[in-house]
Chain A
Amino acid sequence: MFTDVLTIISKEWKEMFMARGSMRSGLFSMLIMVGLLGIFMPLQNGRDWLNNPLLILIWSWVPVLITLSMVTDSVAGERERHTLETLLASRLPEAAILLGKIGAAVFYAWGIMLTGLLLGAVTINLAFPASPAFYDLRVFGGVLVFSLLTSWLFSSIGVLVSLHSKTARQAYQKMSVVFLLLWFIPMLVIQFLPQEIKAGLSARLMTLDLNAVLTLGLVILLIADAALLLVCLSRFQRRHLISL
């Protein structure tokens, strides 16, 4: 099963990198994302990038957004391009196909987030020389786990939406609305809050029992992830996927 999941992940990544016709343009898109998170945003924010947990929390929408386009393309797109039925006619269990598709989207997006954050720390230390600095380790770890679980959550929603969409485009449009409502609008509101409120929130966040907040948030996300994954597994069955 694990080998099968890895086989699907590797195919999905190859397809994604080749989506614009060549491996080079696929790599270029990935470098733009990493550059945005790891160079551009840190340079814009200075040493605050390392010290203000809200900043990196806000930018953790990046992996979620990447996940959306990948998962809708790999489920609704694969059905639209008539490759899904051939895949289902192979020996692969449905769960391996599903986990491979979700895993490919989540780990690609999460990898970009991780690389971007690490590169961000390097950028800050090079561009704003002072004593060597890094993110607060609890915040850094928390954001990584949070973005992983959020990406997984949106991937699962993406699978369910894709199963009820005729085309990848339609699935992506539906998912964009979901993303806008659940993620982007709240994050945008935080971004445009007056500076003093943001500073207050940030200070408040630092005074909170961060461990308790993070643990609670992660437990809620984990439960939601597990529940949605079970729903996906029950829907992603050959008998449901093949129609007349």
Chain B
Amino acid sequence: MVITFLRTVCRSIDMAVMLTGKAAGYLMPFLAFVVAYEVFSRYVLGKPTIWAFDLSLFLFGYIAALGGAYAQQKRAHINVDILYVTVSHKTRCVFNLLSFALGIFFLLVIFKMSFGKFEEAIEFDYRRKSEWAPPMYHFWVMLMVACGLFMAQLGRDMLLDLYYLFTGKALIEQESDDGN
């Protein structure tokens, strides 16, 4: 019963993280288009836009932040795995618990500060400094989402490690054993 529940939670997190990661991927051609359009508009039409600079930076930030959780799901984040690959599965679980806990702490700080900035941005109507002056608040909301998903993914991974530590069995079958 509990196990089924845990599995459902894990699978839901996996799904949400994957969908967000894919959405970030879809922003990429859009980013390239915005920058290319600025070049076209400036060089061919002789009329630089006032929006491409900030819009491209926003898109860049969205892609970079939102892809974080999905990269964790794919075990794509860089680690120094020299010792890591030589130890047993259980030791690796302990290592993960320590480093993911540190990661969650860091993400929690970002989440908290982003929320503060979001409130400030709403109260004082913070904008970018450019002539176009787009509002900033959505960026902080996005960061909260990105950090939330990243924490959820790390939490899910920690849950799997804990389960393995105590039962010696994998909570979810297809979880690969090499941690990579």
A associates with B = no
